[in-house]
Structure 1
Amino acid sequence: MPIFINNNYKSQENAIHQLVNNFFDDGEWIVKGSRNSIKSNFLNNENVNIKFFQKPGLLKSIIYSFFRATKAKRSFDYANYLIENNIKTPFPIAYIVEKNSFGLLGNSYYISQQIEYDFTIRELIHNPSFENRQSILEQFASFTFNMHEAKINFLDHSPGNTLIVKRDKINYDFYLIDLNRMKFENLSIQKRMDNFKKMWLSKTMVKIIANKYAELSEQNKSELQQILLLKTKQFKYKTYRKKFLKKKIGL
């Protein structure tokens, strides 16, 4: 199995291989999915996460083998890009890609440091009285603004994909996870607001985030509120409609 390791972890190649070889026997499940799964384990004395990407179907296997980077490679490369641009994410340790004798992609793995976080954006959405809620949302808006300024369009910018660590009584750190879907481009203000749509923001949250983002980007607060509110409403309507149609036809 070809392995690609961060220079800081070159001396631990054998231990990393062992983690992957024993993936299904050792460690604790964090996510046990039908295709992608995550386990927590120890690399020597360091707590790490191993994300398992199951072998894709034949067509996708051909695409990922010859025309597009695998999810494991993208996760590793994107994490390095984020860190280089001062956007926090669990430190990338290594990725491993299995290939058969025809050079087609099999299973793959991405290994990163584990972050001991306090909560995610999801908790704020469901609890309007969450401690320091407004300040956290404003800091999250600043974090996302810095991400956009670094030309990062995180396509999975959703409530569970930002881990939040309480640094002290009033300051918080934000870490992006689930990184394999990103674009790197200059973002218009429309695209920037569109990037918040999966957050399931309430009207109150829309106002807080839009006002802070407007302050940082020197945009009109009222106009930004209108754009973000429209993007949020459109996404919610589309999601509810899809669920309704699936229920209607019995899927």
Structure 2
Amino acid sequence: MRENFVINPKYSHLAEKLKEVLHNFSKKGEYVTKGERNVIKMVQLEGIAFNIKKFKTPNVFQALVYQHIRKSKAKRSFEYASKLIELDIKTPFPVAYLETFSGGLKESFYVSEHINYDFDFRELIHNPRFKKRNEILKQFTKFTFKLHENGVNFLDHSPGNTLIMDNGNNNYEFYLIDLNRMRFEPMDFNTRMHNFRRLWLSKTMMKVMAEEYAKLYNKSVDGTYALMLHYGRAFQKKINSKKLRRRKAN
């Protein structure tokens, strides 16, 4: 069994304690989420709260791919978070990652600082009367524009992957999570509008966001809205068709 442990220099003094927690993950910390694919726990070390994400154990083929060809999700999460921090784009601070190998990747963990956020983007979708909803949507659009201007193509730009902090005085901060699917590349207008498709925006939300993005990118509001709507509806249709096929199969 071989392992690869990388820790941010800021937390090098906690390296041994953190490794001990990771080696005994099933017995340590409190569950944050316990999904079929991934598990997240929160632990406290020397008064600091950390989130640990344990990724699903890959199958035999995937395990070999992650060892020899492609970076693991844990390593990508750590590296992408570090890159975002360099670009002054908010994400929970990347602390460490651990990979264990035996005939391929066996286990992988990503550790980040825990943040006390107020709500996530999903709440804006489910509650049309959410307080200051339009103002938050405008600021979120500026945040997404900043991603695009910095060549960050966040492939999982979906409602559950943006945490929002309310700082008062109409000031909101946005934190990206679940970072392992991301590309750093120049983004043209089509690619930018395509990047909004997973957010499941209503037409009302799209109108607010299209107007703001058009202003920032010097495009027509109508053209921005039309392209955002085109990609959004195509994605929703695709997902709904998949759900319908699954129901019929069952």
What is the letter of the counterpart of residue 131 of structure 1?
K
The answer to whether the 8 Å contact 1:48/1:111 transfers is yes
What is the letter of the counterpart of residue 63 of structure 2?
S
2:18 alignment partner in structure 1:
16
Secondary structure of the structure 2 residue equivalent to 1:165 = strand
Deviation at 1:161, TM superposition (A): 0.3
Q: Write the distance in 2 (CA, Å) between the matches of 1:54 and 1:107.
A: 8
Q: Tell me which of 41, 60, 63 is aligned to 1:61.
A: 63
The runs of 5 or more residues in structure 1 that have no matched partner are none
Q: Write the distance in 2 (CA, Å) between the matches of 1:234 and 1:67.
A: 32
TM-score (ref. length: structure 1): 0.97
Secondary structure of the structure 1 residue equivalent to 2:160 = coil
The answer to whether the 8 Å contact 1:93/1:113 transfers is yes
2:131 alignment partner in structure 1:
131
Percent identity at matched positions? 45
Q: Write the distance in 2 (CA, Å) between the matches of 1:206 and 1:237.
A: 17
What is the letter of the counterpart of residue 234 of structure 1?
A
Deviation at 1:246, TM superposition (A): 1.1
Q: C-alpha root-mean-square deviation of aligned residues, in Å? A: 0.9
Provide Cα deviations, 1:66-98, integer angstroms capped at 9, x if missing partner: 111110000000000001011100000000010
The answer to whether the 8 Å contact 1:19/1:43 transfers is no
1:27 alignment partner in structure 2:
29
The answer to whether the 8 Å contact 1:4/1:95 transfers is yes
Q: Tell me which of 35, 39, 56 is aligned to 1:37.
A: 39
The answer to whether the 8 Å contact 1:38/1:52 transfers is yes
Moved over 2 A (4+): none
Provide Cα deviations, 1:179-222, integer angstroms capped at 9, x if missing partner: 00001111111111111111110001000111101111111111
The answer to whether the 8 Å contact 1:125/1:201 transfers is yes
The runs of 5 or more residues in structure 2 that have no matched partner are none
TM-score (ref. length: structure 2): 0.97
The answer to whether the 8 Å contact 1:15/1:44 transfers is no
Q: Write the distance in 2 (CA, Å) between the matches of 1:9 and 1:17.
A: 12
Q: Write the distance in 1 (CA, Å) between the matches of 2:14 and 2:80.
A: 22
What is the number of equivalent residue pairs in this alignment? 248
Q: Write the distance in 2 (CA, Å) between the matches of 1:12 and 1:249.
A: 50
Secondary structure of the structure 1 residue equivalent to 2:31 = strand
Deviation at 1:55, TM superposition (A): 2.4
What is the letter of the counterpart of residue 14 of structure 2?
Q
Secondary structure of the structure 2 residue equivalent to 1:42 = strand
